[in-house]
C-alpha cells in the first residue's frame, strides 16, 4: 500500500510491486502493514492509524482494478505482540476479516512464555499465524518452540526469501527445517514493492526437491482456505534430499 509503514513509497512504486508479483504468478495479495498490539488498547490512536490504511488500501484497489484486473486484493496487518493479548475486535486487523491474525514477536526475538501468549490469543477466539519463525535471533536449531506453538493452536508462516538466503544462512537453514518437519502452513512473499521478490526462486527451490504437493498446499490451498475462514490442511514433510557421495561423506 502506498505511503504506509515500510511498503511502497507511492503509487508508482505500488504499481511496480503489483507488476512484479503478477509476473511471478501471484493471483491474490493480502496486505499486512505492521502494527503494535499495544495500539489496539488505545482506540483513538488505533482508529487514526487504521484510517490511514483505509485510505491507502482504497488507492491500491483503484490502481489494481485499472491496471491489474486479474489480481484479487485483501487486507490485514502484521501484529507485533508487544502486549500479551492485543484486541482483535476490529476486523481490519484480521486477515481478510476472518478469525486469522498474522502475529510476530517484538524486536525479532522470541520472548519468554511465548507459548502461553499463543494460548491466550486462541482462548480469545482468534487464530494466530506466527510470522517468519526462522528469522528470530534466538530460535533454537531444534525448533522446539515451533512445535509448542502449533500444539497451542497457532499456524506457521515461512518467508519465501528465507528459502533462498535473503535473510542469511541461519534463516535459510531454519526455514527449510520447518518445512522438512511439516510444520509450515503458509509460504509468504514478504515483498514490499522494493528489493528482490523471492516467490519464483523459492518455488523453484521447492520443485527441485520434488515438493510439488507441498508448494501448492503452502501457496494455494491453505491461503484459499484461510481467506474462507477454514482451517489449513496439514502439509507433508518435504522429501529427503538425495545427497551425492561427497555430500554424504562431508555430512558425516
Q: pLDDT tens for residues 27-39?
A: 999 999 999 999 9
Cell numbers for 187: 509460504
CA–CA separation, 236 and 229 (whole Å)? 21
pLDDT tens-place values along the chain, 252 residues long = 999 998 899 999 999 999 999 999 999 999 999 999 999 999 999 999 999 999 999 999 999 999 999 999 999 999 999 998 999 999 999 999 999 999 999 999 999 999 999 999 999 999 999 999 999 999 988 899 999 999 999 999 999 999 999 999 999 999 999 999 999 999 999 999 988 999 999 999 999 999 999 999 999 999 999 999 999 999 999 987 654 555 555 555
Answer whether 71's CB lies under 8 Å from 25's CB. Answer: no
CA–CA separation, 52 and 69 (whole Å)? 24
Kindly report, residue by residue over 147-182, the tens digit of the pLDDT.
Answer: 999 999 999 999 999 999 999 999 999 999 999 999
pLDDT at 149: 97
- Cα torsion at 168, 171, 174, 175 (round to 10°)? -110
pLDDT at 194: 86
Give me the domains of the chain, ranges plus CATH numbers: 77-251 (3.20.20.140)
Q: Is the pTM of this model over 0.75?
A: yes
- DSSP label of 152: T
- Cα torsion at 175, 227, 152, 203 (round to 10°)? -10
Amino acid at each position: 500500500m502506498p505511503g504506509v509503514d515500510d511498503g511502497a513509497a507511492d503509487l508508482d512504486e505500488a504499481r511496480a510491486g503489483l507488476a512484479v508479483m503478477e509476473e511471478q504468478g501471484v493471483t491474490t495479495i493480502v496486505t499486512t502493514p505492521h502494527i503494535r498490539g499495544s495500539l489496539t488498547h488505545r482506540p483513538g490512536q488505533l482508529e487514526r492509524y487504521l484510517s490511514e490504511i483505509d485510505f491507502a488500501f482504497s488507492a491500491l484497489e483503484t490502481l489494481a482494478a485499472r491496471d491489474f484486473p486479474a489480481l484479487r486484493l485483501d487486507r490485514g496487518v502484521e501484529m507485533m505482540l508487544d502486549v500479551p493479548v492485543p484486541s482483535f475486535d476490529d476486523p481490519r486487523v484480521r486477515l481478510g476479516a476472518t478469525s486469522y491474525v498474522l502475529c510476530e514477536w517484538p524486536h525479532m526475538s522470541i520472548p519468554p512464555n511465548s507459548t502461553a501468549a499463543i494460548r491466550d490469543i486462541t482462548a480469545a477466539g482468534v487464530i494466530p499465524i506466527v510470522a517468519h519463525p526462522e528469522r528470530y535471533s534466538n530460535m533454537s536449531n531444534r525448533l522446539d518452540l515451533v512445535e509448542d506453538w502449533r500444539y497451542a493452536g497457532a499456524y506457521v508462516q515461512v518467508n519465501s526469501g528465507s528459502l533462498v538466503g535473503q535473510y542469511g544462512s541461519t534463516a535459510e537453514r531454519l526455514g527449510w527445517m520447518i518445512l522438512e518437519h511439516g510444520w509450515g502452513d503458509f509460504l509468504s512473499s514478504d515483498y514490499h514493492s522494493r528489493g528482490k521478490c523471492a516467490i519464483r526462486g523459492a518455488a523453484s527451490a521447492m520443485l527441485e526437491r520434488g515438493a510439488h504437493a507441498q508448494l501448492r498446499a503452502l501457496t494455494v490451498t491453505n491461503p484459499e482456505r484461510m481467506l474462507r475462514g477454514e482451517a489449513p490442511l496439514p502439509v507433508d514433510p518435504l522429501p529427503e534430499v538425495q545427497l551425492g557421495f561427497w555430500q554424504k561423506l562431508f555430512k558425516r
